[in-house]
Amino acid sequence: MIGIGLGLTTLRGGSVFNPADLFGVGDNGAMFTVSPETCFTDTARTTAAGVGDPVAGLTDLSGGGNHGSQGTLANRPILRQSGALYYLEFDGAGDWVAVTTGGLLGETWAHVGGWNSTAGLRFFATSQSFQGAPRQGAAITEWYNSSGSFVSIATVSAGTDHVLTIEQASTVSLSGRANGVTGSTITPADDSAAGNQGLALGSQSTSAGTNGLSGKFWGGVWIDRALTGAERAATEAYFADLAGVTL
């Protein structure tokens, strides 16, 4: 694996790696990058968003058609630009993007994404309240565990750009990494939702915007299987480039 700049990371055979390549036959999930090419001002994704526009539609690049949408104008994140990079700005006051309410992720899944959070929940991946959503603390990212408490899964300071990796190897094992550094493995509390998990960005619910993210989303991938070590490293490098993060 060789990181050679914006999104140009090789995984094997020397070809340029794109996390969309993770999705083989039968792999479900979603992948989002942020740019005027993937963000739209309408939920039908016909009118490209410009920098500063509220984003109503977000193209899923996984090939699965799990596009993001937000019909309510006031709840749409904003497309922002930082140098050559783009991100979605969530205001912490109700902004969120619906992807799907269920059927996206199973008992085993992985997420890698570029984030910057000061408060709230980055995304949601279960049918149970907040139990499947990472929360930002002052210096850690937390996940709800089987004892009913938020506990640390990765060390990352609030308000900093970072690449977050979360992998659920089974209903009793969930681990986190930040900027390529392994964090903690816990027993998550969302086992009863296994097999039918949906996805929303910036909310603790897949059907309403609550406990919303205050921060940035630079792009991310969710897939309903574990990643190999080489896949994980290449995917983290890809989103590090998108978020301007050095691993």
Q: Which residues bind other proteins (CB under 8 A)?
A: 50-54, 71-76, 78, 91-95, 129-130, 135, 150, 204, 208-212, 214
**Choice between 183 and 212, CB closer to other proteins:** 212
**Choice between 89 and 167, CB closer to other proteins:** 89
CB of 109 to other proteins, least distance (A): 22
**Choice between 74 and 172, CB closer to other proteins:** 74
- Reduced to 3 states (helix: H, G, I; strand: E, B; else coil), residue 244 is coil
**Choice between 72 and 228, CB closer to other proteins:** 72
Per-residue tokens: 207:
């059907």
CB of 130 to other proteins, least distance (A): 6
CB of 244 to other proteins, least distance (A): 22
**Choice between 95 and 236, CB closer to other proteins:** 95
Q: Are 79 and 70 in contact (CB under 8 A)?
A: no
Q: What are phi and psi of 61, to 5 degrees?
A: -95, 5
Running DSSP on this structure, what letter comes out for residue 16? Answer: E
**Choice between 150 and 239, CB closer to other proteins:** 150
CB of 60 to other proteins, least distance (A): 20
- Alpha carbon distance 231, 37 (integer Å): 25
CB of 55 to other proteins, least distance (A): 11
- Alpha carbon distance 190, 17 (integer Å): 32
Q: What are phi and psi of 28, to 5 degrees?
A: -105, 160
Running DSSP on this structure, what letter comes out for residue 237? Answer: H
- Alpha carbon distance 33, 81 (integer Å): 13
CB of 134 to other proteins, least distance (A): 12
Q: Which residues are within 8 A (CB) of 111 and not within 5 positions of it... i.e. 6 or more apart?
A: 123, 125, 164, 165, 166, 167, 220, 221, 222, 223
- Alpha carbon distance 144, 187 (integer Å): 9
